Structure 1
């Protein structure tokens, strides 16, 4: 398992695992909840990750489902991890719940695939560019809120250079890298940052040029999570698609939804420039900004 364990991911894993174990044991959620001295709606909220169950309640459920010994202890360990606080929670004053969920999942992802059509990916933005993005955003921010948002974005980027970094696969539309956010100097510095980051062994950046004649209406992220090791009884969640909106987000985990976005990302990669031609194109754009 990755060393970057996130309580958000563990809570979702626990919810999915408990649901699958209950269904395998042949109980309805109401029946199982009542057998462990809870009201009928409690377990439904646990199985949708709305409620963090106490490890003792998890132990009782596992006993009911016939799961014991090492497998039970592995699930209970995840239940304990799910009750911890994530580092991002200290940004709760500027971090809405719908995005906190994403930051939590991003923190443990083993592979992150993204397509960006409007701006540089947040994980690869430099500080000046990130500040300009927030300043130009449709929702006005106070100065202190803006600086907290920039600080949060910079903090998120540490996953790419820390222990056990995720593989990061980026396809970015040419329109995004040409949009002069913050002015020519800010954009040039950001282009140089992208060139530098793209040389990391775990980061791959591909530019989708205008000449490809292809695009995709909307940015998205696909998150892959590391598998659970034995003796955990169920692999649970392995992949999630995130689609952000102005005031919320979509978290898609149905197989058909994941397959559609995975196919879209593969098609975008296929027609985008390769990593080396992408760096050459980005470097040429920095020269254009000097003129």
Structure 2
């Protein structure tokens, strides 16, 4: 089976949960018994049902056939799996672009809401090109690779308007002038205009509980599966699920309490833009 070669996506959690429910409710098979019937190891079937491995539509067909579902129902489940496996740009990564950017984009494409918490930089979904390019190059990335990363980021930004998105930004991030004075001003103006485009931007004042500002993260919710959290770490990101992800709901509630309102955040941003003119 080649299903473990790719990073798992939320589709796998949905499909896995559906297959687990079918096994438990429509058959008398234990996990071990079903795995033996399929010729799989129990560990592989467990990972499949828990959505932590990539599952192909062919494997879905094998499972529902082994479970002896009616032909019409089998066809519907297999077709759903094929439709959910349709490729996005992240399945055709650009040279020089970290795989992590594609994985995150695939999660965001399946989400119905995204909430960013950014400590020291403007969130990627709201960045402008000069700001992003200067940020990457300040970290030692050459101009050619930085440009490729921008192409990927620009594609990812197209999701705005199709998903409920809110960015919580620490006030300190608003004072870091990546790209120089003009790029800094233009970046802040982009944040001001975000509200007009239906995007939530809320600034968190400098003084707040340390537990919130310790690191940046993205909280993602999905229509038919539990939330996933992407935590930024050096060189990429870590994905948290289930009980670990639930911990960040409390941090999100804390941000809602300590952040400025949208109106006050907009006023602060406008004052900063005015200072840079």
Matched, 1:53 2:56: yes
Matched, 1:155 2:152: no
Measure how far apart 1:29 and its partner are: 4.2
Matched, 1:270 2:266: no
Equivalence for 1:233: none
**Shift in CA distance, 242/68, structure 1 to aligned 2, threshold 3 Å:** farther
Matched, 1:244 2:240: no
**Shift in CA distance, 284/249, structure 1 to aligned 2, threshold 3 Å:** same
Measure how far apart 1:64 and its partner are: 4.1
Following superposition of structure 1 onto structure 2, how do residues 29-48 of structure 1 map, counting pairs within 5 Å? 29-38=31-40, 42-44=44-46, 46-47=48-49, 48=51
- In structure 2, stretches of 5+ residues that fail to align are 1-7
SS at match of 1:120: coil
Deviates more, 1:43-52 or 1:256-265: 43-52
Count of aligned residue pairs for this structure pair: 267
> Please, what is the CA RMSD of the aligned residues?
2.6
Measure how far apart 1:282 and its partner are: 0.4
Measure how far apart 1:271 and its partner are: 1.4
Measure how far apart 1:272 and its partner are: 0.9
SS at match of 1:91: coil
Deviates more, 1:150-159 or 1:63-72: 63-72
Deviates more, 1:59-68 or 1:152-161: 59-68
Measure how far apart 1:245 and its partner are: 1.3
Measure how far apart 1:155 and its partner are: 0.9
Asked if structure 2 preserves the Cα contact closer than 8 Å seen for 1:124 and 1:193, the reply is: yes
Equivalent-residue separation in structure 2 for 1:238 and 1:71 (angstroms): 25
Matched, 1:207 2:203: yes
Matched, 1:177 2:174: yes
Q: TM-score, normalised by structure 2?
A: 0.85
Q: TM-score, normalised by structure 1?
A: 0.81
**Shift in CA distance, 212/63, structure 1 to aligned 2, threshold 3 Å:** same
Deviates more, 1:68-77 or 1:111-120: 68-77
SS at match of 1:107: helix
Matched, 1:216 2:213: yes
Equivalent-residue separation in structure 2 for 1:252 and 1:32 (angstroms): 28
Equivalent-residue separation in structure 2 for 1:242 and 1:74 (angstroms): 32
Equivalent-residue separation in structure 2 for 1:94 and 1:27 (angstroms): 46
**Shift in CA distance, 142/29, structure 1 to aligned 2, threshold 3 Å:** farther
Matched, 1:167 2:164: yes
Asked if structure 1 preserves the Cα contact closer than 8 Å seen for 2:113 and 2:163, the reply is: yes
Measure how far apart 1:67 and its partner are: 4.7
Asked if structure 2 preserves the Cα contact closer than 8 Å seen for 1:225 and 1:238, the reply is: yes
Equivalent-residue separation in structure 2 for 1:249 and 1:226 (angstroms): 23
Matched, 1:196 2:193: yes
Measure how far apart 1:126 and its partner are: 0.9
**Shift in CA distance, 76/176, structure 1 to aligned 2, threshold 3 Å:** same
Equivalence for 1:225: 222
Equivalent-residue separation in structure 2 for 1:35 and 1:225 (angstroms): 32
Equivalent-residue separation in structure 2 for 1:170 and 1:69 (angstroms): 46
Asked if structure 2 preserves the Cα contact closer than 8 Å seen for 1:11 and 1:79, the reply is: no
